[in-house]
Amino acid sequence: MYCSDDGNNERSPKTPLQNSMDQLGKQLSFYSFGVIIVIFVIGLIQGRNVLDMFTIGVSLAVAAIPEGLPIVVAVTLAIGVMRMAKRRAVVKKMPAVETLGCVTVICSDKTGTLTKNEMTATCVVTPEGRRAEVTGIGYVIDGGRCTYEGEVVMGYSHREFASIIEVGVVCNNATIVADSVIGQPTEGALVVLAQKTGLEGCRQHYKRVREVPFTSETKWMSVQCDQNGQSIFFVKGALDRILQLCDSYLGGDSTRKPLDDYIRQRISDGARGLGATGLRVLAMARGDSLQSLMLVGMVGMLDPPRPGAPDAISMVRASGVDVKLITGDSQETAQSIGSMLGMYCSPHDSCLSGAQIDGMSDQELELVIRQVAVFYRASPRHKLKIVKALQAIGEVVAMTGDGVNDAVALKKADIGVAMGLGGTDVCKEAADMILCDDDFSTMTAAIEEGKAIYHNITNFVRFQLSTSVAALSLIAASTMFHFENPLNAMQILWINIIMDGPPAQSLGVEPVDDDIIRQRPRNVRQPMLSLKLMVDILCSAAIIVLGTLYIFYREMSADNQITPRDTTMTFTCFVLFDMWNALSCRSSRKMIWQIGLLRFVHKSWKPDGVGVRTVISIQSRSTERKISAALWSMEVHCQA
């Protein structure tokens, strides 16, 4: 029996991203303190005031250390959880938010996730191959009927078809209320079929004594009934399993006939033909003993793909995420549905059965699993082997499930996804995320949010570090060239506390590019500070430093001395450069005018927000000299 861990008294562990951010903060602190110590020592050698250098050093230390990183990461993840909830994906565990953006393989159940889970019986087939067609869609009875060669099948008018329908409705626990099913959709379809043929009342003819429920291992269900003191077994399930229990079949003349190998093969071929059209085939049998049943026929059921599933699969595949279909249906049915979903399965190397998985070693499964698109006749224990094999070859796996036995596989997967409508409580408890509508398209949206969260955090890190590197480089350059420090301690602290706070937080919640889902999954082992990100940081910092030094040198050279106005102009230039830096950090792939300037202005620089307060603060509190309109014009011209 599965037992869930009681974690109510345990603190949630830090996510991998938070751990990497902590490590990043430690590394930056180490290097920043090294640069600050060098600046302090050079200043002392040059004979500068010890107190001034100490004050500048402390200010730089405060500005250089990204103390806001853990907070912004936590807030961004929390906002991501809220966004996913609006898109009907409930994230239970915070690590799932960031891991979603790393998923490389999605192992999805077929029924209910990729299909509607609205079973409709479309045909009734006898062991000798006679076929009655059933019209109607879903659980609505009106307008639906069963016909054979133009004749309506009603009651026991065609006994061979009635015998099949009778087994389906007696070996059944579902009921139909207001055109919806209470119970399993497969059983609901059989009840509707009985109602269309006027046979729903045959349940009352039998007194149920015992039931053997359907399991993913046996793949059949039976009920033992009593009729006038005689014990009768009614069994339904997968054809291959039912045939193992049968020694005879019901002939067209309503007599019991022996079931030899030729007849078995002919029946199996007929079932494969139904499966090739996407139908789920359910076999019906009855008898005095479970060891000697009589096959009475089959029912073909259609569970069509969800309307948005093929497009969702195509979208995630285009972004480098593989999708594998897992079902308990036959190979023919699984392949047909896979083709409808756009998986283009090959019968030779793209399908694998549960029995074949059982016959493979772990190493053998790892060698072939990348080429497999569909797993058929699979059970929850096969799901666990699939997850382990994929993880062993370096894949990041998301696994869906809805049953009690799926809980182990969901726990093992990097992202366990439970169904909110059809999932059991045990399954939901084991999962990292719950799909409220059981729709595969919702998982696609969740992956998009996971990528967006990491994208925003990267943009935030780029902005925060480029500002810190620029401040350190500016003071280091002025010290090396024996200039007066262009920024005083108060201005450095102001940049760190006021300037880097709200803009950086805005980057954490910035709406992402529409094509974010098309980006390939990130490597979980890739460090946050990639080579490209470091180049972007250094380029942004260099632009800020060079522009600020130009203003500083220009103002200082006017009278060959540093005045309060020179410091004010330098500080203002740094702040304005940093504002443009925040705008450019919104996207690593597009220019400012391509992503829309007004969107960020509305969020971070709106009239009642940061923008106006920034200008007012520059003009009133944090400068040594008021800035005239002409000087403001020159500053803006320098930015351009």
Per DSSP, the three-state class of 36 is: helix
- 486 neighbors 548 (Cβ within 8 angstroms): yes
CA–CA distance, 465 with 25 (Å, rounded to integer): 10
Query: Is 109 tagged catalytic?
Result: yes
- 542 neighbors 604 (Cβ within 8 angstroms): no
DSSP string, 459-482: HHHHHHHHHHHHHHHHHHHHHHTT
CA–CA distance, 522 with 528 (Å, rounded to integer): 11
**For residue 192, what are the CA distances in angstroms to 141, 159, 282, 457?**
7, 18, 15, 53
Per DSSP, the three-state class of 300 is: strand
Q: Which residues are 416's β-sheet partners?
A: 399
DSSP 8-state assignment for residue 619: H
> Angle at the Cα of 420 (from 416 to 421), degrees rounded to 5?
140
**For residue 487, what are the CA distances in angstroms to 281, 339, 495, 632?**
78, 66, 10, 18
> Angle at the Cα of 218 (from 360 to 344), degrees rounded to 5?
55
Per DSSP, the three-state class of 256 is: strand
Extract the tokens encoding 358.
Answer: 């059982």
CA–CA distance, 541 with 535 (Å, rounded to integer): 10
CA–CA distance, 407 with 547 (Å, rounded to integer): 58
CA–CA distance, 609 with 416 (Å, rounded to integer): 41
CA–CA distance, 493 with 626 (Å, rounded to integer): 19
CA–CA distance, 173 with 185 (Å, rounded to integer): 11
> In what helix (H) or strand (E) does residue 102 lie, and over which residues does it extend?
none
Sorted by sequence, the CB contacts under 8 Å of residue 359 that are 6+ apart come out as none
Name which of 139, 132, 113 is nearest 300 in CA terms: 132
Residue whose tokens read 């969020």: 603
Sorted by sequence, the CB contacts under 8 Å of residue 398 that are 6+ apart come out as 100, 103, 105, 106, 107, 413, 414, 415, 416, 417, 443
Q: Is 362 left (phi over 0), alpha (psi -120 to 50) or beta?
A: alpha
Name which of 21, 127, 151 is nearest 73 in CA terms: 21
Please give the span between the terminal C-alpha atoms of the chain, in angstroms, as a whole number.
Answer: 68
DSSP 8-state assignment for residue 288: S
Q: Which of 22, 109, 311, 514 is catalytic?
A: 109
Q: Which residues are 542's β-sheet partners?
A: none
DSSP 8-state assignment for residue 232: E
Per DSSP, the three-state class of 340 is: helix
Residue whose tokens read 């201005």: 491
Extract the tokens encoding 52.
Answer: 């001034």
Extract the tokens encoding 369.
Answer: 């699993």
Instruction: Give me the active site residues, please.
Output: 109
